[in-house]
Structure 1
Amino acid sequence: MEKIIDESKQGESLVLENKKENTRKLFIESYGCAMNFSDSEIVASILSNEGFNTTNKLEDADLVLVNTCSIRDKAEQTVRKRLEKYNAVKKTNPKMKVGVLGCMAERLKSKFLEEEKIVDLVVGPDAYKDLPNLLAEVEDGRDAINVILSKEETYGDISPVRLNSNGVTAFVSITRGCDNMCTFCVVPFTRGRERSRDPQSILEEVNDLWSKGYKEITLLGQNVDSYLWYGGGLKKDFDKATDMQKATATNFAKLLEMCAEAQPKMRIRFSTSNPQDMTLDVVETMAKYDNICKYIHLPVQSGSDRILKEMNRQHTREEYIELINNIKRILPDCTISQDMITGFPTETEEDHQDTLSLMREVKYAFGYMFAYSERPGTLAERKMEDDVPLEVKKRRLQEVIDLQLEHSYEKTQSFIGKTVEILIEKEARKGDKDWSGRNSQNLLCVFPKEHYKVGDYVNVKITSATKTTLIGEPVGYSENN
């Protein structure tokens, strides 16, 4: 649940610039969090060198890959339905090969080959470099699987080929894996232990993106605040590092500063943060640099200390509120969003009310809210009874959503009359007369196109707002153009 899942992007197929010399066609689609979409770009880069061009026509594909998510049962069921679709296409194109990538592949391993007869290869998140070997196995008529989790793999040496969506915003992965053993979460089991990427390779990627016209990056990881580079190795082994390694180590606040200074006109975001790992030097760095966006996604999951303990969240309600208060003190204009789970095992009505009261105290700008669903392999599934009735989970979830919408509306209304800088990302969904983009606080804004274009920084005076969107009039280019 730590991972933000953008419902509008689920099942999006990746299409890249073709190489003339490539003769085979790859259809790849992604489900789940931003990390999965970023990983699909890495996979496409690896396979581009193996003679594959991407296509968005399933029927034309020689190889079909689906990058999967295990965070919720719904995500896994969606993938199984897509496999049924692939199976129907395979009947007319029997040479087509099908592979499952990512977290669901890691969770189910060889069971996938047994359960889904259509699947030819199963590849975990740390094994993408092995794809050429695995494909050779498949082409020789054998099923192929590699779900070995790595202690070193960060894909820092692979330059991802980017989605041709807008050429303005991009993800830059900085960590892989997670050491926080939240009892509801499969991530430590599907993505392995935490390791960080060499900061120089990150800066090279950031600089390369700027040279290609990108205006905004999101530093990406399951837990970005845990970023720690001391020459390689797992974060948990840092205490065994030499004195020189410790003295020259780069933490997340330092990495953020390095990125901000490397490209002063490039917007920088990051996701996801964990309350127990976020330190005030990160917030102070955000305050120091105008190009670091004033937005923090800070999952809490529950407002009840008892439930937080059951979830193994490693922070209390009081500690979380103290962090929120420090953020508001250092960054008064910062927006904060949440992840929230309702109906976790043993959750009482009192626990639920604690969650609502926390929301009233913090007043999040927006959130990602779910009813608890038991995930196989997690500590909660092994040791706790899923004892909150579904109708109770749903009712509590609706109360959380309703309260969040109230607070979201308060937040968007507070911008009316203000002029904010918007980075144009694409056409607005409704009609072709407006542009759509976000402000520093990650709030969506639409405004008339006029003479502006995608990739421009525009000052927009906000004239009205819905619960989710700012509406305004452009007043000129911002100084960042």
Structure 2
Amino acid sequence: MEKIIDESIQGQPLALDQNKENKRKLFIESYGCQMNFSDSEIVASILAKEGFNTTQHLEDADLVLVNTCSIREKAEQTVRKRLEKYNAVKRINPGMKVGVLGCMAERLKSKFLEEEKIVDLVVGPDAYKDLPNLIEEVDAGRNAVNVVLSKEETYGDIAPVRLQSNGVSAFVSITRGCDNMCTFCVVPFTRGRERSRDPQSILTEIDDLVSRNFKEITLLGQNVDSYLWYGGGLKKDFQKASDFQKATAVNFAKLLDMTAQRHPKLRIRFSTSNPQDMTLDVIEIMAKHKNICKHIHLPIQSGSDRILKEMNRLHTRQEYMDLIDNIKQIIPDCAITQDMIIGFPTETEEDHQDTLSLLEYVKYEHGYMYAYSERPGTLAERKLEDDVPEDVKKRRLAEVIALQRTHCAYRHQSYIGQTFEVLIEKESKKSDQHWSGRTTKNIVAIFPKGKYQIGDFVMVRIDECTSATLLGEAIGYSDNN
């Protein structure tokens, strides 16, 4: 499973409109990937019906929840520090209850509850509907835990409150779990096997967003290309489905096509793809519809066939490059971004050079690159020795980052003089006189505000660039308004 972790939003306390009827206060923070932030919206929606309003003040809270991630060591360390902070406040406010949600909750349930006694409540990713019962247990003075993984739960019947939203773009979860047993990843063990939401529930949620004037959605899943609805059930059981179920099944390409046709002015993105599951029909649907953004996040993790095999990635370097070639042929202007793990166990200098040469071949628009850190509970932790020295990891990572920055600059400089449609999302961080928005390629563009407003689609001529941002001038509205 691939994860894009946006460092700028880690640990933000979530807030939504207050219901005067609700008397209890919920403080909820999220760490990790966008799936965790999406899950926090589901949790807040469930608890709003149980009498909780969100607060951004920890000291005022009756219930404090932290939604956790196990994908990177840094996230775990941060969550532990936050739990120490919560418990310091709890000593002043003993009525406050503390709970851990998500991936880390499942893995460390006994440690948190019994050994360290730092939380009252532990809830796994498939158990959020059980929160009302679990909170009753906690209110009665008992610890509460539910980390049972489900074969059916997709939360398709819960309309998430849009806690993280700017009112312009929103995430719509379409799958849960993952069947890809990558040796570096704990997600199949913390989020369970892969299952997909009923497409009608997805389209209903999108209809609601459009009616509320949202302009962009991102279809979200651990592995969106694996989406497969055949009436419910695990993806791995599809072979047991009836002939009718197989004939009427909806795969990701079909879902993408249905969504784009239904709302032709709605911008559509998706994340995250796995190279072994991305098919040509998805790329062809992207090319067919103007409103599907021309950006694919396509993690490779390593450019070495030998390391890909150690990682249990079910594709080769050549297969990945063939997929890149097909994308470029069918959608010549498509932006491609990557995830890369540097210093995976047994990685040699030759393997590292293979990664650098793959970077040169693709020249990615952007990348998320990390030094390997052993994650408890993964196959790699059980079977492979973390044998690449830290100084070697750091040096190789620095080389990969430097090359990626060169490619970012190369790509961005090629856009100077071009005009792109930009969806205005917010005010620029550096200037209250400028808007910030993204192009179809998922690149941030900054330009003077002029007469335009948040939510407008604007044509922006690019005059300058940095390695991360395009700078330009709005020349008029696009025909998508």
Asked if these proteins are the same fold (TM beyond 0.5), I'd say yes
What's the offset of the Cα at 1:183?
0.3
Q: What is the rounded CA distance, in whole Å, between the counterparts of 2:127 and 2:241 in structure 1?
A: 27
Q: State the SS of the aligned residue for 2:43.
A: helix
CA distance 1:164–1:6, shift in 2 (3 Å) = closer
Q: What is the rounded CA distance, in whole Å, between the counterparts of 2:363 and 2:340 in structure 1?
A: 13
1:266 aligns with 2:260: no
What's the offset of the Cα at 1:15?
0.1
Match of 1:8 in 2: 8
Match of 1:330 in 2: 330
1:21-420 matches, cutoff 5 A = 21-163=21-163, 165-420=165-420
Q: What is the rounded CA distance, in whole Å, between the counterparts of 1:477 and 1:181 in structure 2?
A: 46
Q: What is the rounded CA distance, in whole Å, between the counterparts of 2:165 and 2:434 in structure 1?
A: 17
Q: State the SS of the aligned residue for 2:92.
A: coil
Q: What is the rounded CA distance, in whole Å, between the counterparts of 2:88 and 2:452 in structure 1?
A: 45
Q: What is the rounded CA distance, in whole Å, between the counterparts of 2:412 and 2:421 in structure 1?
A: 15
Q: What is the rounded CA distance, in whole Å, between the counterparts of 1:394 and 1:10 in structure 2?
A: 24
How far does the alpha carbon of each residue in 1:420-470 deviate from its partner, in whole angstroms, 9 at most, with x for none?
A: 000000011102110000000000100001111110000000000000100
Q: What is the rounded CA distance, in whole Å, between the counterparts of 1:424 and 1:89 in structure 2?
A: 39
Match of 2:461 in 1: 461
CA distance 1:115–1:395, shift in 2 (3 Å) = farther
What's the offset of the Cα at 1:115?
4.0
Amino acid in the other structure paired with 1:413 = Q
What's the offset of the Cα at 1:11?
0.2
Q: Is the 8 A contact 1:4 1:34 kept in 2?
A: yes
Q: Is the 8 A contact 1:110 1:122 kept in 2?
A: no
Identity %: 77
Amino acid in the other structure paired with 1:360 = E
Amino acid in the other structure paired with 1:90 = K
Q: What is the rounded CA distance, in whole Å, between the counterparts of 1:258 and 1:12 in structure 2?
A: 34
What's the offset of the Cα at 1:59?
0.7
Amino acid in the other structure paired with 2:315 = H
What's the offset of the Cα at 1:330?
0.2
What's the offset of the Cα at 1:164?
5.7
Q: Is the 8 A contact 1:103 1:190 kept in 2?
A: yes
Q: State the SS of the aligned residue for 1:91.
A: helix
Alignment root-mean-square deviation, CA = 0.7
What's the offset of the Cα at 1:165?
4.0
Amino acid in the other structure paired with 1:149 = L
Q: What is the rounded CA distance, in whole Å, between the counterparts of 2:157 and 2:56 in structure 1?
A: 27
Q: What is the rounded CA distance, in whole Å, between the counterparts of 1:60 and 1:433 in structure 2?
A: 35
CA distance 1:362–1:114, shift in 2 (3 Å) = same
1:480 aligns with 2:480: yes
What's the offset of the Cα at 1:166?
1.3
Q: What is the rounded CA distance, in whole Å, between the counterparts of 2:363 and 2:456 in structure 1?
A: 31
Q: Is the 8 A contact 2:101 2:125 kept in 1?
A: yes
How far does the alpha carbon of each residue in 1:158-199 deviate from its partner, in whole angstroms, 9 at most, with x for none?
A: 000102641001000000000000000011011000000000
Q: Is the 8 A contact 2:267 2:293 kept in 1?
A: yes
Q: What is the rounded CA distance, in whole Å, between the counterparts of 1:327 and 1:165 in structure 2?
A: 30
Q: What is the rounded CA distance, in whole Å, between the counterparts of 1:124 and 1:150 in structure 2?
A: 10
Q: State the SS of the aligned residue for 2:461.
A: strand
How far does the alpha carbon of each residue in 1:244-283 deviate from its partner, in whole angstroms, 9 at most, with x for none?
A: 0000000000000111111111100000000000000000
Amino acid in the other structure paired with 1:206 = I
Q: What is the rounded CA distance, in whole Å, between the counterparts of 2:410 and 2:9 in structure 1?
A: 27
Q: TM-score, normalised by structure 2?
A: 0.99
How far does the alpha carbon of each residue in 1:362-415 deviate from its partner, in whole angstroms, 9 at most, with x for none?
A: 110000000000001111000000000011001100100000000001111111
| Structure 1 residue runs without a partner (length 5+) | none
Q: What is the rounded CA distance, in whole Å, between the counterparts of 1:153 and 1:86 in structure 2?
A: 30
What's the offset of the Cα at 1:88?
1.3
Q: What is the rounded CA distance, in whole Å, between the counterparts of 2:6 and 2:187 in structure 1?
A: 17
Q: State the SS of the aligned residue for 1:122.
A: strand
Amino acid in the other structure paired with 1:220 = L
Q: State the SS of the aligned residue for 2:145.
A: strand
Amino acid in the other structure paired with 1:223 = N
Q: State the SS of the aligned residue for 2:158.
A: coil
Q: TM-score, normalised by structure 1?
A: 0.99
Q: Is the 8 A contact 1:16 1:164 kept in 2?
A: no
Amino acid in the other structure paired with 1:71 = I
Q: What is the rounded CA distance, in whole Å, between the counterparts of 2:234 and 2:118 in structure 1?
A: 36
Amino acid in the other structure paired with 1:213 = N
Q: What is the rounded CA distance, in whole Å, between the counterparts of 1:145 and 1:351 in structure 2?
A: 44
Amino acid in the other structure paired with 2:413 = Q
Size of the aligned set, in residue pairs, is 481
Q: What is the rounded CA distance, in whole Å, between the counterparts of 1:149 and 1:165 in structure 2?
A: 28
Amino acid in the other structure paired with 1:314 = L
What's the offset of the Cα at 1:339?
0.3
Q: What is the rounded CA distance, in whole Å, between the counterparts of 2:227 and 2:312 in structure 1?
A: 21
Q: Is the 8 A contact 2:112 2:118 kept in 1?
A: no
What's the offset of the Cα at 1:117?
2.1
Q: Is the 8 A contact 2:307 2:344 kept in 1?
A: yes
Q: What is the rounded CA distance, in whole Å, between the counterparts of 2:439 and 2:320 in structure 1?
A: 26
Q: What is the rounded CA distance, in whole Å, between the counterparts of 1:166 and 1:454 in structure 2?
A: 9
Q: What is the rounded CA distance, in whole Å, between the counterparts of 1:230 and 1:108 in structure 2?
A: 34
